[in-house]
Amino acid sequence: MIKPYGSEILTPLYVKEESRRKILLDEAEKIPSVVISSAAAANAVMLGGGYFNPLRGYMNLVDVLSVAERMQMYSGLLWPTPVINLLKVDLVSEEIKSAGKITLRDPNIEGNPVIAIQSVDNIETISKEQIRIVSEQIYGTSSFEHPGVAEFVDSGDTLISGPIEVLNYSYFSTDFPDTFKTAVEIRNEIKERGWESVVAFQTRNPMHRAHEELCRMAQKELNADGILVHMLLGKLKKGDIPADVRNASIRKMVELYFPENTVMIAGYGFDMLYAGPREAVLHAIFRQNSGCSHLIVGRDHAGVGDYYGAFDSQTIFDRLPDGVLQIEIFRGDHTVWCHKCEKVMMMRDCPHGKEDYLLLSGTRVREILAKGKNLPPEFSRPEVAEILSEYYQTL
């Protein structure tokens, strides 16, 4: 199986040993604590599950600026996006400033239970100008209209860096017990299934016919043993499909339209960044750490609005140093239903023209579903469309 990114073995930061957990939970009640942001909590979950291997905790300001400017940490490790615990200054008490360790509390669960304990290496202020520069370099814009930029700016201006020990996986393990999986668990399942090569499909949306066929095309072309359909379970921008609806529709599609033991369904606990090319590289690291040999990167991967070119998330991989990632990229084109071919095709492989294609925008799809009408079977499996239609009619 492919090695994890940046190390010989995967080093998740979740504390499994019960005696150590008890010590940390006792300690958590005696040291200063703070309710962190949803983004920082999601970072803790990803560190705990091994997805951020080989990182040991939250980045300091030098690393944040280096990652933004050069896409690598001060140590030289390639990393595409900051992994930070960023807080509003009024949350950082004098007690926290003088502490060697602090308790991090989950903002997404009632009662704010302990999610991790952090050793405090540095507490630093990131200036407004630095926030603007980082936004430009990571997201390609400093506009508050971009959901990732808005979340970043709203989180605060005080960075607390240092290693963490993770004590739970927030709401992901309880709300999605059959879907949430750590990178460790995915690796173990790949071994149990006897797969050698695995192609991963990243999604924050339900899967329509084009997505389904793109997975099949990639599996066939790469001769892969299996497909990992890996869905984001964290926070999304307004208007995106909730994780529970997405989960139900994807499971129905796989159950009815894929052969047994060819697809693994899993989810991961992260809040979407909408960082386009930078997030595509991050997605590749996630999947290498999960044991996948390939990642499908399609049109406008991890994009939003018109901030990125249609294939910027593919061409960014051409600029990475040779061999820095072991995982390989399968590059998808625009996928459409071609009436003459009578199937879903990638445009680059189809001999016909736009007049022969069925094209539906996301806006048009939502309009159809909200009215309780059926989506064309060429666009969506009827069983999937039914689940989506029921959701949209509740809005």
Cα separation, 300 vs 308, whole angstroms:
7
Residues 156, 208: contact at Cβ < 8 Å?
no
Residue with tokens 């809005």: 395
Report the SS3 class of residue 147: helix
Closest to 227 in 3D by CA, of 172, 295, 164: 295
Tokens of 201: 């499909």
For residue 258, the one-letter residue type is: F
For the purposes of burial, counting CB atoms within 10 Å of the CB of 19, is it exposed (0-12), middle (13-18) or buried (19 or more)?
Answer: exposed
Cα separation, 136 vs 130, whole angstroms:
10
Whether 216 is catalytic is no
Sheet order of strands, 198-203 included: 263-268, 226-232, 198-203, 294-297, 328-331
Among candidate residues 187, 204, 209, 287, the one labeled active-site is 204
Tokens of 179: 């879907």
Closest to 80 in 3D by CA, of 251, 362, 345, 317: 317
Cα Rg of the chain, angstroms = 21
Pairing of strands 114-119, 158-166: antiparallel
Among candidate residues 112, 205, 251, 366, the one labeled active-site is 205
Q: Which residues of 161-190 are buried (b: 16+ CB within 10 A; e: fewer)?
A: bbbbbbbbbbbbbebbeebbbbbbebbebb
For residue 244, the one-letter residue type is: D
Report the SS3 class of residue 106: coil
Report the SS3 class of residue 172: helix
Whether 204 is catalytic is yes
The residues annotated with a catalytic role in the active site are 204-205
